Amino acid sequence: MKSDVTFIILGASGDLAKKKLLPAIYHLVQKGKVKNFGIIGVAFNVYSAEELFERSREYIKNVDNKLFNKIKKRFHYFQADFNDEEKICNLGFFVRQIESKYKLKGNRMFYLSTLPSNYKAIIDNLTKCSLTDEKKNWARVVFEKPFGDNLNDAKEINKCIHKAFDEEQIYRIDHYLGKELVQNISVVRFTNIFFEPIWNKDFIEEVQFIMSEEYGVENRGKFYDNYGAVKDVFQNHMLQLLALTTMESPSKFTSEDIRDNKVKVLKKVRVDKKKVLGQYQGYTKEKGIKKNSKTETFAALRMFVDNKRWRDVPFNFITGKKMKDKITSIVIKFKNTNCNMFSQCNFNPNNLTIQIQPNEGFYMALNAKVPDSNKIQSVKMDFCHECTFGPNTPEAYENLLYDVIKGDHSAFIRNDEIEEQWKITEKITKTKLYSYKKGTYPKEADKMTNWHLNLN
């Protein structure tokens, strides 16, 4: 599918624009998915268009300078205060000038790469100035997480958005849903006949969701200190992975069917009392962090899904900063079989690892007989994503921006999903913070389960 589009990035001077959005647009153009386009960056401070666009160069692998410069010529900058109605109305005139210059149809993607505190002003002024009501063409508005600070905040944001836009115009991004391996979860479950019959409490002992990072808060200190690991990672990324792993098979695999089924399973999630929270040593000395901060940088949590398929199966979550490795994976641990073949019955149960990063792929641990003995050894069958499909598979934001252009909501979050995720998160009470050193995690978490924290 090829389309023309005007990309309007509100908050174009931020890290997201230079590291993710502009490189994603570059790749969409490079692959011919977008043929005719204009890019308008909007921010508060004064910049030149060339200066802003050049910032993205270092984040594009194997950049083609000729193509980069061609795209740069179609990048334009508009300085505006989001609260200034007159400025935003002038932005409307500027957008129409750019569309006329490049003979664009008027299909517009507004990407709000800003804090939620700016949403109301931006939404009000976009609608007052008629930037989103082109009748013959589409106007789609993309919102970045976080979607509020709590359930009430999320409801207010959704209420504000719905006053101005229909749900079909709204795209709430959780970038994890754009990752190739995350998009493969449903494919693996529902298109491989040997998995679906055993994807339930009768055959699965436990499921682990792992999202560890080796770095600290870096330049996000002030923001992170108001959120912590539970709100920053578990509330969105990890609960979305849970929903995709546990939902029932959608009847039609339309975006609405998929999102309906995710909401249904999220409503059945029960928060268990078992949890461990931690804070890495030196956190309170980081820039932007309160000296007496009690914000957690580590969380080990347990959930249950109280429905027929999953009753009594523990879903264990572990996430943290300054741990040993950067790993994002889902580990499905199957139940053990009855041992009646050999005298030595010390083999491991099967498990399936969905490795989201690094070394993207699927890894299945099976048991096999060691030659010339009666011993059993665990062996690995693996699917390496890059080995099969090559190194140039799309990045998450490239997938997501293209989905917006196509009008596909499958990888985007609906307002009721967000609210269910906040309902779950708000049931997680604060508890004692355990201190841990860089490259480790609180060992109290090992009492919950045997974590699969090694890279495959």
d(CA 148, CA 166): 20
The full DSSP string for 285-327 is GSTT--TT----SEEEEEEEE-STTTTT--EEEEEESS-SS-E
Of 27, 175, 237, 452, the catalytic one is: 237
Which of these, 39, 2, 7, lies nearest to 108 by C-alpha position?
7
Sheet of 351-357, strands arranged across: 376-384, 361-369, 351-357, 327-334, 204-212, 315-320, 298-305, 269-280, 433-436
On whether the CB atoms of residues 434 and 318 are closer than 8 A, the answer is no
User: Do β-strands 351-357 and 361-369 pair in parallel, antiparallel, or remain unpaired?
Assistant: antiparallel
Q: Clarify whether 452 is annotated catalytic.
A: no
Q: Which residues, including other chains, have CB under 8 Å from residue 146's CB and lie 6 or more apart? A: 116, 227, 231, 232, 236
Which of these, 119, 211, 206, lies nearest to 165 by C-alpha position?
119
On whether the CB atoms of residues 264 and 248 are closer than 8 A, the answer is yes
Q: Find the length of the chain.
A: 456
d(CA 216, CA 343): 49
User: Do β-strands 34-43 and 170-173 pair in parallel, antiparallel, or remain unpaired?
Assistant: unpaired
Point out the residues that are catalytic. 237
